[in-house]
Structures are given as C-alpha cells and as structure tokens.
Structure 1
C-alpha cells in the first residue's frame, strides 16, 4: 500500500493539467490507483469484489475524464460495503464526480448525505463546499424566480460560518458576493418595471431592499439614483435630495450621481442629506455614510 504522500504525488502526475479542484479531490480520497479498469457493461457487481478494487476503478474513470461513470462506481462501494471506511471515502468522491459531470442535483444529495453521516470528518468542509457550489451552478437567469439563488447563498454562508479558516470559506465568500448581486439585480429589475408603470411606491419599496440589504453590491448606486427619481416624481423632495446626497458622498465619481445631481438641480434644488431619513440611517449602519 502506498503512503499518503506517494499517492498524492502519483495522482498529481496523472491528472496534471486537470485543475486544482480535481487534484484536491483525489488527494483527499487517499486511495491508490490500480491497473484494473471498470467495464462499461459491469452492471452486476460480484458479491466478493473488494471495496478497494471498485474504488480504484472509480479513480481510473476520473483520470479518463468519465466522471459520471466514476460516480456510479463509487456508489457501488457504498452499496456493497456499507459503513466501511471505503464507503465513507467513496461518498465524498461520488459528490465530487457528480459535480464534475454537471449532475448538480445528484452532487447536492450525495454531499448532504456525507455531511449528515460524517459531520466531524476532515472532509465535511469539502462536502459542504461542493453542495454550495452545486447550488451556485444552478443559479437561474435574473428574469426567473430566485429561490435557488437564495438556497445557494444560504449554503455558501454556511461554509463560511462552519469552516471559516479553510480555503473553501475564502472561495465561498467570492461566490457569496455574486449571489448577493444577483438577488439585488432581481430587485432592481422589478423596481425599474414599477417605475416605468409609474407605480412609484412599489418601485421605492424594491430599491429600498437593495439599499438596506445589498449595500455592498454594484446595484446600490443605481438604486440610489432610482430613489432620487421616484421621490422627485412623488414630490417628496427631502428624500430625493437625501438619496442624491448619499449617492454623491459614497460614489462621487459615479455616472449615477451625475444623473441624480442633474435631476435634483433641474427641480431648482441641490443634493442635501436629511440625517433623519431612512436612507441616511441605512448607510450609517453600514459605516458608509
């Protein structure tokens, strides 16, 4: 049996050029590569077939860039040798293989099962990260319902919360920003529609969500301009001036601020912050105002 270091070195040599995530998954597995190769027609598993042999056939299929077939072999280990250490290793590899194959629903189910069965395992963080990443890959177009985006955001935040000192947390944080921007973008899409329909109150409510919940996204600049626009249309001058002033203070070089300034100035006023406004208070809470 190879040592862990020898296994890692051999795996890296085999998968050179496949990418870091693939290398990490195989190293975490800690298995050895055998010369045996899985048969495409091997649907029936002999009852005495060793778990290690089936497992290594899965690794071989991964090396051959056949992840879905590999996932099936890893599942065979879990089915024929349940509760064994090989079954545990195979379950994390099943999750990875399905993720590589683009079978995200299967990866999510497998990863969640791993975290449920082995919450204290050193690979639990990786399993949770794969679940979150699979959900992230399922994020829909901004014009569609964003329930899956929220699910992805929750799962990514769980990675950061449970495993803050891992490399997975660092990567998850980047994906969190993208997911948050997606949710903010959806609010902006609806808000702009209401604005076009002259439903100014409905529009303001949507832009308010962006300003209060998604201040760190790129959507907030336009949200402040749209608030200026909506409040000017309603004749609520103080709030329009405040939205423009907060926009100018936090994003002085923004084209949105230039447009907001022109809009307020056209009404014979200047941007002026009302400290009691919800807009001003929202930015103070974030330390931006």
Structure 2
C-alpha cells in the first residue's frame, strides 16, 4: 500500500474511533444490575445476600443468591447459594420454586452437610400447600414422600421430629379425603363404594384420627347391606380400641336394635387390620 493510502486509512480509523468514544461519552450511564448481571465476586455476593436477609430485604437477598448460582456455577459458593435460594423462595411463599431449587440441590449434593436441611425445606414447601380435604390432596402425598426421605436418609438430623409430625398430619389429610368420599357414597346408599373407601382408611391409615369413624361407618354400611357378621366385627374392633368413644356407643346401639352385639370374626379383614390399630403401625 502506498504511503498516501496508508495515511488516509489511518485517518479514517482515527475518526471512527473518535466518533465511537464520543458516542459513549454522550450516552447516559447504564446500570448493569438492571441487565441481570452481577460483577462482584461470589463471596461478596454471598455476604451481601446474608446481610440483606438479616436486614429483612428478602427479595434483594434472593437476587444476590440467584446471581451466584447463575454467574458462578460449579463452585462451592454456588452450592451454598443454592441452599439459601431454596430457603428464600420458601420464605417468599414461592413453594413450587423452592421445591425446584431444592430438588436440583439434592440431585447434585445428596451427601453434603446441608442436604438434610434442604430436603426438609422441600417437605415444608409441600406441606404449606396442603389444602382442605374437600380438595385435591396431592400436596399431602408429596409431603409424606419428601419428609420420609428426611427420616430415612438423615435419621440423626435435627429435622426428624418435625418431619415425622408433618407426615402424621399429611397422612391424616389423606385419610380424611377417603372419609369424605366414603361418606358421599354412604349417603347415596352406594355401600360397596363406601366400604372400599373406609377400608383404605382402616388398612392404610390405622394410626390416624380418621380410623375411629371409619370403623363406625363400616358397621353402618355392612349392617345396611345385611352383612351382619362384618358389622359385628367392625364394632368389636372399634370397641376394643376406642371403648369410650361416641362412635362405639352409636355402633353398639345400631347392632342392638337388630338383636345382635359386637363380636369379632378372626377371619375377617377387619380383625386383621384391627391388630395394626392396636400396635399403632
């Protein structure tokens, strides 16, 4: 290239660069945090997240922890931040998001020091979504599944006692749902359908608050169908386990009106299930 041509090209490059610099200088400052980018090191972001959490700025804390997980993956800080993100989402009542974050953590770090706590948070997130027994009880089933992992996989953790309490509550909800459906069928004299629901309660949820009524409803349903021996057995099991209950008094009165009394048939499924009630299993 000739010398004159090189001078022209150099001049054009200088002019273009100058125009670019001038343009940048005249533009307003851009806040990169609004672009979702955090420039601080992960340890700084983590401490900022903790500080915001302590100050009650939970949304800002969550933003810091999420930034670590996003900007610094596969680091120890990312692992710690994912624990805190799970907690923050739980505190924000973003339960589905908390379950998602917690599940991702458990898939990656099932044997870490924080694994029991994260699994417990997953269970809490499900338990907070349990609704009235007239509605779907999927959250109750998920609570049991999640909390059983706490009990079975981390039996020495400090979360076991509360996990067991949440399991009992969720099981009572599932039993309550079966009772609600069973009563619906019983009111419509669909006895076989009602019995199948009450049987689920007696066999699968023997240590819940619902089993007492379930036995009494079995007395009622079997007696209405003319299957008196099963009605007597249900009443006998009810009386053996809950002798002072109003449900037993009502069942006894119903049988007495037909000239019979509670009497256990050892070959009945109800008698076999009754042994589990006695053992509380």
TM-score category of the 2 structures, normalised to the smaller one: 0.7 to 0.9
Identify the range of structure 1 (163-172 vs 139-148) with the bigger mean alpha-carbon deviation: 139-148
Residue of structure 2 in register with 1:135 after alignment: 126
Q: 2:192 aligns with which of 201, 219, 240?
A: 201
Q: 1:147 aligns with which of 122, 133, 138?
A: 138
Q: Give the greater-gyration-radius structure (CA).
A: 2
Mapped contact 1:160–1:169 kept (Cα < 8 A): yes
Residue of structure 1 in register with 2:49 after alignment: 58
Residue of structure 2 in register with 1:276 after alignment: 267
Residue of structure 1 in register with 2:16 after alignment: none
Query: 1: CA distance between counterparts of 2:37 and 2:273?
Result: 65
Q: Which runs of 5+ in 1 are unaligned?
A: 1-39
Residue of structure 2 in register with 1:33 after alignment: none
Residue of structure 1 in register with 2:156 after alignment: 165
Compare the two structures and name the one with the higher helix fraction. 2
Query: 1: CA distance between counterparts of 2:37 and 2:93?
Result: 29
Query: 2: CA distance between counterparts of 1:64 and 1:48?
Result: 22
C-alpha deviation, 1:64, in angstroms: 2.2
CA 1:118–1:268 in 2, change beyond 3 Å: closer, same or farther? Answer: same
Matched, 1:257 2:255: no
TM-score, normalised to structure 1's length?
0.83
Mapped contact 1:210–1:223 kept (Cα < 8 A): yes
Q: 1:90 aligns with which of 81, 86, 95?
A: 81
Mapped contact 1:153–1:176 kept (Cα < 8 A): yes
C-alpha deviation, 1:190, in angstroms: 0.3
Secondary structure in 1 matching 2:47: helix
C-alpha deviation, 1:44, in angstroms: 3.9
CA 1:192–1:45 in 2, change beyond 3 Å: closer, same or farther? Answer: closer
Query: 2: CA distance between counterparts of 1:225 and 1:41?
Result: 67
Residue of structure 2 in register with 1:99 after alignment: 90
Q: 1:175 aligns with which of 156, 160, 166?
A: 166
Residue of structure 1 in register with 2:6 after alignment: none
TM-score, normalised to structure 2's length?
0.85
Q: Which runs of 5+ in 2 are unaligned?
A: 1-30
Mapped contact 2:195–2:221 kept (Cα < 8 A): yes
Query: 1: CA distance between counterparts of 2:37 and 2:180?
Result: 57
Query: 1: CA distance between counterparts of 2:59 and 2:197?
Result: 42
Matched, 1:115 2:106: yes
CA 1:194–1:47 in 2, change beyond 3 Å: closer, same or farther? Answer: closer
Deviations 1:219-263 (A, max 9, x none): 000000000000110010001111111000001111111111111
Residue of structure 1 in register with 2:7 after alignment: none
Mapped contact 2:126–2:142 kept (Cα < 8 A): yes
Deviations 1:29-60 (A, max 9, x none): xxxxxxxxxxx993346664111221112112
Residue of structure 2 in register with 1:67 after alignment: 58
Residue of structure 1 in register with 2:8 after alignment: none
Query: 1: CA distance between counterparts of 2:88 and 2:167?
Result: 23
Query: 1: CA distance between counterparts of 2:120 and 2:248?
Result: 39
Query: 2: CA distance between counterparts of 1:277 and 1:187?
Result: 21
CA 1:172–1:47 in 2, change beyond 3 Å: closer, same or farther? Answer: closer
Query: 2: CA distance between counterparts of 1:174 and 1:258?
Result: 30
C-alpha deviation, 1:140, in angstroms: 2.4
